[in-house]
């Protein structure tokens, strides 16, 4: 088809105009690249609105925090206990209890709980962590007091319908099977069992037989022993009318029995670590999963924030030294990371990595190299400043939601931290010096005592591992 003359002319004119625009844009882009970016702003301390705090006669603590502009509210009931309260023959008993609690109360069926939650435009969950059981509800602000009453009903009056028990236990057996097929979970189970022998913190998985043996009487007894007002703290954050919210809290929780006194944690953890390699054979595995770590301080220690800075620089973010080495420079792995993992009065530092099989030994070599390098020479001021900027930014983002605010408040309360921990966190991060980072590495990242767990193809990696420690049999 032949285009009309005026169309062809218009096309030529349009093309010329496009080239002119693109040329101008390119020149502007080049000019922008040459301009010096503005200096970053002065970091600010984090602050939250002043909370309202009170304690009910039954011992339950309450914290109400007005926060944000979105018309929603989060109601979070944290009850001290969690996995740390489980005995050696009760692993995942708390998880079973939490799943069963949402199956109905003495006045509501599971369906009615779901319908009420949906009508309030929200959600409701019961979860168990290392040190607490949490009943968490989220709703539109107009339904805040009603959500408080629903959370209270689920926490105080679970009916534990026996018709659901077999199904919930079957779900747990399936979850266990899936978890035990994943090398990261296999490695974590071994790592924690070595570091915390004979303690709840070291027990990650039950056996299928243990799950199948759980009885309704066991779950109810566990609930009676570990869930009660005296060990509970209710947090409410979001947009709400303070007077009706406080009234709803007092009405819904005022009659809850105190329960058994808190004995926490039972018993105190005493982590152990010695330089040894625990090799778990996974024949034919194309990669090896590594966890390498040592016990460190918990958040109640004044040096906890400097240790967090040290961890971030060493392996805790994308531009960290270990990540830059074994991911970017060597290509041994895709997503390595290090962390300071904490529980009540307990913590450990660990480097985690999934590496190609033929790079298992070389990866350990480079991890130890970066640790030892930081022990010998402090980082530059610029490298440290980049880490501090990252941590300050992440901290602000973590606290930009209702759940984030509540999580931070729970963290402070669990570990008994001072009132200014949150407001002074950014300031403390920026107060860390290069010499502090070196000292933290020397003092706490004691790689000569590291517990090393490797899950991989034994016949391919055993010889690679021998230079880095005795292989435990």
Quick one: what percent of the chain has pLDDT higher than 90?
Answer: 84
* pLDDT score of 267: 73
Per the structure, the count of domains in the chain is 2
Average pLDDT over residues 361-378: 98
Indicate whether 45 belongs to any domain: no
Of 253, 288, 313, which residue is a domain's last?
253
Select, from the ranges 34-48, 81-95, 236-250, 262-276, the one with the highest average predicted confidence (pLDDT): 236-250
How many whole angstroms separate alpha carbon 286 and alpha carbon 457?
8
Average pLDDT across the chain, whole number? 91
- Looking at residue 127, its pLDDT comes to 97
Q: Do residue 322 and residue 371 come from a single domain?
A: yes
Domain boundary among 204, 220, 253: 253
Residue 40 confidence (pLDDT):
59
Q: Is 427 left (phi over 0), alpha (psi -120 to 50) or beta?
A: alpha
Q: Is 214 in the same domain as 286? A: no
Starting at the earlier edge strand, list the strands of the sheet with 123-128.
52-55, 61-66, 232-238, 72-80, 132-140, 123-128
CA gap 3, 6 in Å, rounded: 8
Residue-wise DSSP of 358-403: GGHHHHHHHHHHHHHHHHHSPPPHHHHHHHHHHHHHHHHHHTSSHH
Is residue 367 over pLDDT 60?
Answer: yes
**For the residues 9-37, what does the mean pLDDT come to?**
46
Residues 242 and 287 placed together within one structural domain of the fold: no
User: What is the C-alpha separation between 314 and 322, in angstroms, rounded?
Assistant: 6
How many C-alpha atoms does 380 have within 13 Å on its Cβ side?
4
> Quick check: 24 pLDDT over 50?
no
Helix (H) or strand (E) holding 311: helix 304-311
pLDDT at 243 over 80: yes
On whether both 83 and 171 belong to a single domain, the answer is yes
- The verdict on residue 142 lying in a domain is yes
**What is the DSSP-derived secondary structure letter of residue 440?**
H
In a domain, 375, yes or no: yes
Same domain, 246 and 298: no
444 and 317 within one domain: yes
**DSSP assigned state of 41:** P
How does pLDDT run across 309-353, given as a tens digit for each residue?
Answer: 999 999 999 999 999 999 999 999 999 999 999 999 999 999 999
Residue 9 belongs to a domain: no
Predicted local confidence at residue 50, as pLDDT: 87
Single out the residue of 218, 170, 441, 188 nearest to residue 291, CA to CA.
Answer: 188
With 70 as the cut, is the pLDDT of residue 30 above it? no
The per-residue pLDDT for range 392-440, each reduced to its tens digit, is 999 988 888 999 999 999 999 999 999 899 999 999 999 999 999 999 9
DSSP line for 412-431: HHHHT--TTTTTTHHHHHHH
User: Is 259 domain-assigned?
Assistant: no
- Of 199, 222, 253, at which residue does a domain stop? 253
- pLDDT, tens digit, 9 for 90 and up, residues 31-64: 445 566 666 565 667 777 889 999 999 999 999 9
Is the per-residue pLDDT at 253 higher than 50? yes
> Which one, of 386, 374, 382, 380, lies nearest residue 314 by Cα?
374
What pTM does this model have? Answer: 0.89
Q: Assign residue 413 the CATH number of its domain.
A: 3.30.830.10
Contact between 156 and 148 (Cβ < 8 Å)? no
Is residue 305 domain-shared with residue 208, that is, in the same domain?
Answer: no
68 with 166, same domain: the answer is: yes
3-state secondary structure of 293: strand
Residue 153 is inside which H or E element, if any?
Answer: helix 144-156
Cis peptide before 267 (omega within 30 of 0): yes
**Burial degree of 21 (CB within 10 A; 0-12, 13-18, 19+):** exposed
Q: What is the pLDDT of residue 293?
A: 98
Per residue in 79-115, is it b (16+ CB within 10 Å) or e — as a string?
bbbbbbbbeeebbbbbbbbbbbbbbbbeebeeeebee
Asked if 360 and 326 count as a contact pair (C-beta separation under 8 A), the reply is no
Q: What is the C-alpha separation between 278 and 290, in angstroms, rounded?
A: 10
Per-residue pLDDT tens over the stretch 157-192:
999 999 999 999 999 999 999 999 999 999 999 999
Count of residues in the chain:
473
Same domain, 167 and 73: yes
Question: What's the confidence (pLDDT) of residue 437?
Answer: 98
Structural domain includes residue 20: no
Give the residue among 197, 205, 201, 198 at the shortest CA–CA distance from 177: 205
Among 467, 473, 422, 469, which Cα is nearest to 448's? 469
* 3 state DSSP class of 22: helix
Q: Pick from 50, 72, 47, 53: which is nearest to 402 by CA?
A: 72
The average pLDDT across 373-377 equals 98
- Within this chain, do residues 314 and 200 fall inside the same structural domain, yes or no? no
Instruction: Supply the range of the domain harboring residue 146.
Output: 52-253
Q: What percent of the chain has pLDDT above 70? A: 90
> Each residue of 344-370: b (16+ CB within 10 Å) or e?
bbbbbbbbbbbbbbebbbebbebbbeb
Least confident residue range of 200-209, 265-274, 439-448:
265-274
Q: Judge whether 400 lies within some domain.
A: yes
CA-based end-to-end distance of the chain? 80
Q: What pLDDT, in 10s, does the model give residues 259-298?
A: 887 766 567 789 999 999 999 999 999 999 999 999 999 9
Whether residues 288 and 242 share a domain: the answer is: no
| 165 lies in the same domain as 109 | yes
**160: in domain:** yes
Given a cut of 60, whether residue 17 has pLDDT beyond it is: no
Asked whether residue 4 carries a pLDDT value surpassing 70, the answer given is: no
């Amino acid at each position: 088809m032949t285009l009309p003359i005026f169309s062809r002319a218009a096309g030529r004119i349009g093309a010329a105009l496009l080239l002119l625009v693109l040329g101008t844009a390119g020149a502007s882009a080049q000019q922008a690249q040459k301009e010096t970016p503005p200096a970053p702003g002065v970091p600010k301390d984090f602050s939250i609105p002043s909370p309202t705090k009170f304690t009910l006669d039954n011992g339950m603590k309450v914290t109400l925090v007005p926060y944000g502009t979105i018309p929603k509210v989060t109601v979070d009931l944290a009850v001290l206990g969690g996995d740390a309260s489980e005995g050696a023959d009760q692993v995942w008993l708390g998880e079973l209890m939490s799943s069963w609690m949402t199956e109905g109360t003495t006045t509501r069926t599971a369906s009615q709980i779901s319908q009420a939650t949906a009508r309030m435009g929200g959600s409701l969950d019961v979860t168990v962590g290392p040190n607490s059981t949490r009943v968490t509800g989220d709703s539109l602000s107009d339904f805040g007091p009603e959500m408080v009453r629903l959370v209270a009903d689920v926490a105080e009056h679970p009916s534990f319908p026996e018709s659901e028990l077999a199904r919930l236990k079957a779900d747990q057996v399936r979850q266990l099977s899936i978890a035990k097929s994943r090398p990261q979970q296999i490695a974590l189970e071994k790592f924690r069992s070595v570091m915390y022998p004979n303690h709840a913190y070291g027990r990650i998985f039950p056996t299928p037989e243990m799950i199948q043996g759980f009885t309704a009487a066991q779950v109810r007894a566990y609930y009676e022993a570990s869930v009660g007002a005296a060990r509970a703290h209710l947090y409410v954050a979001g947009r709400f009318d303070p007077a009706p919210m406080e009234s709803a809290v007092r009405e819904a929780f005022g009659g809850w029995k105190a329960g058994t006194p808190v004995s926490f944690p039972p018993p105190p953890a005493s982590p152990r670590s010695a330089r040894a390699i625990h090799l778990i054979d996974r024949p034919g595995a194309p990669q090896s999963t590594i966890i390498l770590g040592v016990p460190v301080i918990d958040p109640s220690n004044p040096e906890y924030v400097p240790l967090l800075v040290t961890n971030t620089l060493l392996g805790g973010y994308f531009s960290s030294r270990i990540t830059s080495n074994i991911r970017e420079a060597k290509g041994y792995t895709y997503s390595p990371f290090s962390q300071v993992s904490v529980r009540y009065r307990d913590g450990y530092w660990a480097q985690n990595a999934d590496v190609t099989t033929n790079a298992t030994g070389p990866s350990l070599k480079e991890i130890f190299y970066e640790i030892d390098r930081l022990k010998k020479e402090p980082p530059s001021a610029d490298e440290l400043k980049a880490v501090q900027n990252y941590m300050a930014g992440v901290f602000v983002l973590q606290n930009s939601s209702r759940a984030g605010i509540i999580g931070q408040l729970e963290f402070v309360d669990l570990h008994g931290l001072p009132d200014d921990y949150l407001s002074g966190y950014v300031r403390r991060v920026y107060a860390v010096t290069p010499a502090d980072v070196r000292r933290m590495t020397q003092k706490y990242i004691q790689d000569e005592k590291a517990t090393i767990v490797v899950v991989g193809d034994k016949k391919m990696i055993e010889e690679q591992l021998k230079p880095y420690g005795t292989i435990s049999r």
